[in-house]
Amino acid sequence: MRKYKVGFLKKAQGVFSKNTIKNIENKLRTIDNIELFTDLDFRKAYVLNGNVYIENFNLNSLDLYFWHDTVKPNDWKGDNFNLNILSVLEKNCLVINTSQSTKITNDKFLAHTILKKNDLPVADFALTKATDKNGLTKAFENLGGTVLIKPRFGGWGVGIIRVNSLEKLFSSIEMLLSFLPNKNQQILLEKYYKNDLNKWISVIVIGDKVVFGYRKIIGESSDWKIYDPDKKDGKGDNSKYINPPEELKKIALKAKQVIGKDIIGFDFIYTNEGYKIIDENGRPGIYPQCLESSGINIEDEIVNLILSKIKNPIYLRLEK
Amino acid type, 292: E
DSSP annotation of 105 reads H
Mean pLDDT to the nearest integer, 167-177: 93
> What is the mean predicted confidence (pLDDT) over 288-296?
95
Check whether 232 has a pLDDT greater than 60: no
What local confidence, expressed as pLDDT, does residue 71 receive? 64
Is the distance from CB of 268 to CB of 200 less than 8 angstroms? yes
238: number of Cβ within 10 Å: 15
pLDDT above 80 (res 159):
no
CB 210 within 8 A of CB 252: yes
What residues contact residue 69 under an 8 Å CB cut-off, 6+ apart?
Answer: 9, 10, 11, 13, 283
Would you state the pLDDT for residue 205?
A: 98
**CA 199/CA 178 separation, integer angstroms:** 37
Neighbours of 287 (CB within 10 A): 24
d(CA 168, CA 174): 10
Distance of CA 239 to the CA centre of its chain: 18
Q: Positive or negative CA dihedral for 197, 260, 307, 70?
A: negative
Distance (Å, whole) CA 5 – CA 169: 53
**Mean pLDDT in residue range 20-32:** 97
Q: Note the pLDDT tens digit of each residue in 261-291.
A: 999 999 999 999 999 999 999 989 999 999 9
Q: What is the CA radius of gyration of the chain?
A: 21
Cis ω before 49 (30° cut-off from 0): no
Between 284 and 315, the higher pLDDT residue: 284
DSSP string computed for 15-42:
TB-HHHHHHHHHHHHTSTTEEEEE---G
Higher pLDDT, 20 or 233: 20
Query: φ, ψ for residue 235 (rounded to 5)?
Result: -100, 0
Give tens-digit pLDDT for 136-145: 999 999 999 9
pLDDT band at 318 (very low <50, low <70, confident <90, very high): very low
Mean of per-residue pLDDT scores for the chain: 89
Asked if 60 and 103 count as a contact pair (C-beta separation under 8 A), the reply is: no
Q: Which amino acid is at 198?
A: N
Domains and CATH numbers, the chain: 4-97+300-311 (3.40.50.20), 124-191 (3.30.1490.20), 195-295 (3.30.470.20)
